[in-house]
């Protein structure tokens, strides 16, 4: 069964733009054929580092690999991080890349998962304003954009021009 | 047979319909904005997107409904050599994950032990979506159900209708 939906929006609506700053992005290239092993190591990671996971994404790499990105709420301390990284290095020859102080802008909107053009509009908005993007995930009705340090505010401003937020809607309608 | 020590409580599992995955090559100068703009112009929805620019250039994967394959191939024709299509793939979404990397790690470990391919992962605040072989989704569900408890009367579900924007 198929349900057809019309969206009469001159500007794509969001439920609001949010941002987080001072985050930590850990990137690891892992062997796909050893996921059973590194999945177990990964399971202990947030407890070992005393951090919280905000976002995770992964994509395949050529030659049987998976690049895993973990966005954490803070940078793990030096010693804990070195110990955790060593496990990945020893077991899977997978050194970490750590981007400190990265930032996150995210938003949701009505039925985004079923609508075309959302990711394109977001990327285009940032491109027009020359805002660099480290990573992007669109899943369900949510869009997440990870930017380098100091760029979330610019990203939010750029997205605010391309998407309608409750604030801009209020200004437009006076309600 | 694996006997998990602890089962994780989750709210539900959702399976996708048959999808196509576009895998953009990281070593090709892919005009990502142009590709996305063309897909938008043809009203092709991307059901999931995971991109990263760790090597400098934004690249990654995205999925679309299998019935959009023909139109997407036409749109992507000028960019031949910059991407690969993988099909059929399907997604399995677990919600909520409550930011429990322990749960996510155990799930990946379980899928790895049965040799299930993982073609992509993406989380949101509430859910974790795993992209795998569409024909092996039931195997993935079985492996995950050994790790999690679902609410009473909940069974992993497939969408019974599709919303399409015009």
Q: What is the pLDDT of residues B10-39, one digit of tens each?
A: 999 999 999 999 999 877 777 899 999 999
* ipTM rounded to 2 decimals: 0.91
Amino acid A172: pLDDT: 67
Check pLDDT > 90 for residue B166. Answer: no
User: Which 35-64 residues of chain B touch chain A by CB within 8 A?
Assistant: 36-37, 39-40, 43-54, 58, 60-62
Token pair recorded at residue A42: 């990964």
Residues 6+ apart with CB under 8 A from A153: A19
Domain tally, chain A: 2
The tens-digit pLDDT sequence of chain A (175 residues) is: 666 666 667 788 999 999 999 999 999 999 999 999 999 999 989 888 999 999 999 999 988 899 999 999 998 888 889 999 999 999 999 999 999 999 999 999 988 888 899 999 999 999 999 999 999 999 989 999 999 999 999 999 999 999 988 888 777 666 5
B40 vs B21: CA distance, rounded Å: 16
Top mean pLDDT of A164-168, B80-84, B98-102 is at: B80-84
Mutate to test the interface with B, among A35, A73, A123, A127 (most CBs of B within 10 A): A35
DSSP designation for A33? G
Same domain, A59 and A73: yes
pLDDT of residue A94: 93
Identify the architecture of domain B8-17+89-149 in CATH.
2-Layer Sandwich (3.30)
CATH superfamily assigned to domain B19-87: ACT domain (3.30.70.260)
Separation of alpha carbons A156 and B133, rounded Å: 36
Q: For residue B155, what is the enclosing H or E element?
A: none
Residue in A with minimal Cα distance to B113:
A36
Q: How far apart are CA B44 and CA A82, in angstroms?
A: 44
State the count of interchain CB pairs (< 8 A) between A and B. Answer: 199
User: What does the angle CA B143 – CA B147 – CA B153 come to, to the nearest 5 degrees?
Assistant: 90
Residue of B44, B42, B43, B165 lying closest to A6 (CA atoms)? B165
Phi, psi of B97 (to 5 degrees): -90, -15
Query: Is A7 within a domain?
Result: no
Same domain as A136, residue A91 = no
Task: Report the SS3 class of residue B105.
Answer: helix
Record: contact B118-A140, CB cut-off 8 A: no
Tell me the pTM.
0.91
Please, where in chain B does CATH 3.30.70.260 lie? 8-17+89-149, 19-87
CATH of the domain at A106: 3.30.2130.10
Q: Is the pLDDT of residue B159 over 80?
A: no
């Amino acid at each position: 069964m198929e349900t057809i939906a019309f969206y009469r929006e001159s500007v794509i609506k969001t439920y609001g733009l949010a941002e987080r700053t001072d985050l930590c992005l850990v990137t690891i290239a892992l062997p796909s054929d050893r996921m059973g092993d590194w999945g177990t190591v990964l399971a202990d990671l947030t407890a070992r580092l005393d951090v919280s996971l905000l976002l995770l994404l992964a994509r395949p790499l050529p030659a049987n690999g998976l690049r895993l990105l973990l966005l954490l709420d803070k940078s793990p301390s030096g010693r804990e991080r070195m110990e955790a990284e060593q496990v990945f290095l020893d077991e899977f020859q997978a050194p970490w890349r750590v981007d400190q102080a990265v930032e996150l802008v995210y938003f949701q909107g009505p039925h985004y998962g079923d609508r075309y053009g959302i990711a394109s509009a977001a990327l285009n908005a940032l491109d027009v304003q020359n805002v660099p993007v480290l990573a992007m995930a669109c899943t369900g009705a949510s869009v997440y954009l990870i930017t380098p340090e100091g760029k979330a505010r610019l990203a939010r401003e750029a997205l605010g021009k391309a998407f309608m937020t409750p604030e801009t809607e209020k200004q437009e309608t006076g309600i | 047979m694996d006997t998990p020590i602890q089962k994780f409580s989750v709210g539900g599992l959702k399976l996708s319909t048959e999808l196509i995955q576009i895998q953009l090559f990281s070593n090709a100068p892919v005009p990502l904005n142009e590709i996305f703009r063309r897909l938008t112009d043809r009203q092709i929805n991307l059901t999931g997107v995971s991109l990263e620019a760790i090597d400098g250039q934004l690249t990654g994967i995205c999925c679309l409904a299998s019935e959009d394959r023909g139109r997407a191939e036409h749109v992507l024709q000028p960019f031949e050599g910059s991407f690969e299509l993988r099909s059929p793939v399907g997604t399995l979404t677990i919600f909520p994950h409550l930011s429990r990397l322990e749960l996510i790690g155990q799930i990946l470990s379980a899928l790895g032990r049965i040799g299930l391919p993982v073609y992509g992962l993406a989380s949101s605040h509430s859910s974790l979506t795993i992209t795998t072989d569409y024909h092996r989704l039931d195997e993935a569900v079985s492996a995950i159900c050994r790790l999690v408890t679902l609410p009473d009367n909940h069974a992993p579900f497939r969408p019974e209708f599709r919303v399409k924007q015009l």
